Amino acid sequence: MPVTAKICGLSAPDTLAAAVAGGASHIGFVFFPPSPRHVTFDQAAALATLVPDHVERVGVFVDPEDALLDQAIRAARLDAIQLHRASPERAAAIGARTRLPVWAAVAVKARADLAAAHAFRGAAQRILYDAKTPDDARLPGGMGLRFDWTLLQGFDHSLPWALSGGLDAANVAEAAAISSARTVDVSSGVESAPGVKDAAKIAAFLHTVAML
């Protein structure tokens, strides 16, 4: 089974084109103003028109209100919703209300953190294991942090899952080999500066993934 890749935090046509051309299976639009990768509804709408049907558009949210979700879904024609800092109950409610697949982020630093994934059984369709950020961090991800990939070895996954947190072209092959991830998610690892995607880095990342 090939490894697939999501390029997250895209905000410009040229780097979105690089993600599509490189074979990304998913692209992510961030709807969270504190993030340097935040896109407005107008930006997302324009970018969404450039995404072919075989690539899924994922909206990334942090504990969102329904009104935000509704506007983002319409603007970006989202295929899935990725939730950070949302309870299983809220994830289930959002999935039922929007009728879209839900990716639930689980922040990981220690093996015990993985257990939170089990609570999303029946509430989400995919788990995104991401590195836990500091308690005082404004952002739940996209900070280039990684966790110990060996923590995932032998874990009984309740749902399909993806690996995120500190990935880049230099380490994604090792990360996939150690964790057995079949979907990987990258954001800061393909940037030249926070929020500034780099087409060459996107191409290199996706080339490496394609070889796995």
Q: How many CB atoms lie within 10 A of CB 49?
A: 9
130 is catalytic: yes
Judged by DSSP in three states, 5 sits in: strand
The burial of 154, by beta-carbon neighbours within 10 Å (0-12 exposed, 13-18 middle, 19 or more buried), is given as: exposed
Q: Which of 171, 142, 176 is nearest to 161 (CA)?
A: 176
Q: Which of 42, 66, 113, 130 is catalytic?
A: 130
Find out whether 105 and 128 touch, Cβ atoms under 8 Å.
yes
14 is catalytic: no
**Which ranges of the chain would DSSP assign to H, the alpha helix?**
13-22, 41-48, 66-76, 88-98, 172-179, 199-210
Just list the catalytic residues: 8, 130
